[in-house]
């Protein structure tokens, strides 16, 4: 069985910075209110007058990841695209990136696991490489969320949290210097509607609805914040320890934990529970908000770019999100 490794990273963020003070002009909120609850100071939203789609953002992140890996784009054998904000109801974004990259008729798979999407995609890539089916896989997490947010006071609990952006990784056949040790995936569908967006979908189709009877909330994200927080802090710790125990390690062995950037308070809680030093965890939600399936690859790419992680470091990735789904990956970077 072959080993797999992350050979290249890249990310793309829309240039349009939206501060907490900017949001206070749209809804009843304040910088203090947002920072106390989420830790977020700014986020990136695409310019509504010049929309760039999630596939296009993913494509731009992919170009950087390919360059970082040192491979030629023609060496890519498969594409895995994680998103809950695809350009179309169908087809998926993977085939759109295949076309944008001008690649031959390689396969493309789309994954819809929200905040856990990149971990799920990384797990699939790892399995493909280990079995010898492929040698280089492009894994993308990309989200365009700002257009569907309710930017009124009614929707502020969620609209202040989410941002747009994309991250990408090249997963390649490994060597003795870097390796994905293991990945761990879980779900609990009984909590599916605690964090969801019901429409548009086949059972909540827009032109089938009577606007006098259908709540507009169906077409915007909804979250039971208390339930999500209570589950997140438990599942994050469990799945991180699962990865460490599988590989005979402890939290002290981690050079860098990169959690999904859901809420700075969750990350700080997990850091305290695992007794990690500040230099053992990387957070960037302060600058970009929660970019859902893109948050881990963006953070991973930025951490590498800024020398927060280096080749040979033990890195743990962990995510929790809608589904509920959660997962982790432990690797030697």
Return all residues near 139 (Cβ < 8 A) that are at least 6 apart: 80, 82, 118, 121, 122, 125, 168, 169, 170, 171, 297
pLDDT of 176: 75
Q: Say how far residue 155 (Cα) sits from the centre of its chain.
A: 22
Q: What's the whole-number average pLDDT of the chain?
A: 93
What confidence tier does 328 reach under pLDDT thresholds 50, 70, 90?
Answer: very high
Continuous segment of H or E residues that includes residue 223: strand 222-223
How confident is the model at residue 222, as a pLDDT?
80
Tell the burial category of 223 from Cβ atoms under 10 Å away from its Cβ (0-12, 13-18, 19+).
Answer: middle
Q: What is the mean pLDDT of residues 89-94?
A: 95
Q: Is pLDDT larger for residue 55 or for residue 175?
A: 55
pLDDT band of residue 37 (cuts 50, 70, 90) is very high
Question: E-assigned strands of 228-324?
Answer: 256-259, 314-321
> What pLDDT digit, counting tens, does each position of 209-255 carry?
555 555 556 667 787 878 988 999 999 999 999 999 999 999 999 99
Taking each helix axis as running N to C, give the angle between helix 54-69 and helix 93-100, from 0 to 180 degrees, rounded to the nearest 10: 60
pLDDT at 204: 64
Q: What pLDDT score does 229 carry?
A: 87
Return the bridge partners of 17, or none: 44
How does pLDDT run across 118-175, given as a tens digit for each residue?
999 999 999 999 999 999 999 999 999 999 899 999 889 999 999 999 999 999 998 7
Average pLDDT for 174-179: 82
Query: Which domains, from first to last, does the chain contain?
Result: 4-176 (3.40.47.10), 180-332 (3.40.47.10)
Confirm if 325 and 192 have CB atoms less than 8 A apart.
Answer: no
Output the pLDDT for position 300.
98
Give the chain's count of helices (H) and strands (E): 10, 13
Q: Is 219 helix (H, G, I), strand (E, B) or coil?
A: helix
The reply to whether the predicted model has a pTM over 0.75 is: yes
Write down the pLDDT at residue 216: 59
What's the average model confidence in pLDDT over 306-316? 96
Phi, psi values for residue 172, rounded to 5° = -125, 165
Give mean pLDDT, residues 6-30.
97
Catalytic residue IDs? 115, 260, 290
Strand, helix or coil at 157?
helix
299 Cβ contact partners less than 8 Å away, ≥ 6 residues apart: 167, 258, 261, 282, 283, 284
Q: Where are the alpha helices (DSSP H) in 183-263?
A: 225-246
Indicate the length of the chain as a whole number: 333
């Amino acid at each position: 069985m072959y080993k797999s490794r992350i050979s290249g990273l890249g990310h793309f963020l829309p240039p349009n910075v939206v501060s907490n003070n900017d949001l206070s002009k749209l809804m009843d909120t304040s910088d203090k209110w947002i920072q106390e609850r989420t830790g977020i100071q700014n986020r990136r939203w695409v310019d509504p007058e010049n929309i760039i789609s999630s596939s296009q953002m993913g494509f731009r992140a992919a170009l950087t990841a390919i360059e970082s890996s040192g491979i030629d784009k023609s060496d890519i054998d498969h594409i895995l695209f994680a998103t809950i904000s695809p350009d179309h109801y169908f087809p998926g974004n993977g085939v759109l990136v295949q076309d944008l990259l001008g690649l031959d008729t390689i396969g493309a798979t789309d994954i819809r696991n929200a905040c856990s999407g990149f971990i799920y995609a990384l797990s699939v890539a790892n399995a493909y490489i280990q079995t010898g089916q492929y040698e280089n896989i492009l894994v993308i997490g990309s989200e365009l969320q700002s257009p569907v947010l309710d930017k009124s006071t009614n929707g502020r609990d969620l609209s202040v949290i989410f941002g747009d952006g994309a991250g990408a990784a090249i997963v390649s056949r490994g060597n003795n210097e870097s390796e994905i040790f293991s990945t761990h995936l879980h779900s609990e569908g009984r909590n599916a509607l605690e964090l969801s967006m019901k429409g548009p979908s086949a059972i909540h189709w827009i032109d089938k609805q009577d606007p006098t009877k259908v709540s507009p909330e169906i077409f915007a994200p909804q979250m039971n914040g208390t339930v999500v927080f209570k589950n997140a802090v438990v599942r994050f710790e469990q799945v991180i320890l699962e990865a460490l125990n599988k590989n005979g390690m402890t939290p002290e062995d981690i050079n860098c934990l990169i959690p999904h950037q859901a809420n700075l308070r969750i990350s700080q809680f997990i850091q305290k529970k695992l007794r990690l030093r500040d230099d053992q965890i990387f957070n960037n939600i302060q600058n970009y908000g929660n970019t859902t399936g893109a948050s881990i690859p963006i953070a991973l790419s930025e951490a590498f770019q800024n020398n927060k992680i280096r080749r040979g470091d033990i890195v743990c990735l962990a995510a929790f999100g809608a589904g509920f789904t959660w997962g982790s990956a432990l690797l030697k970077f």
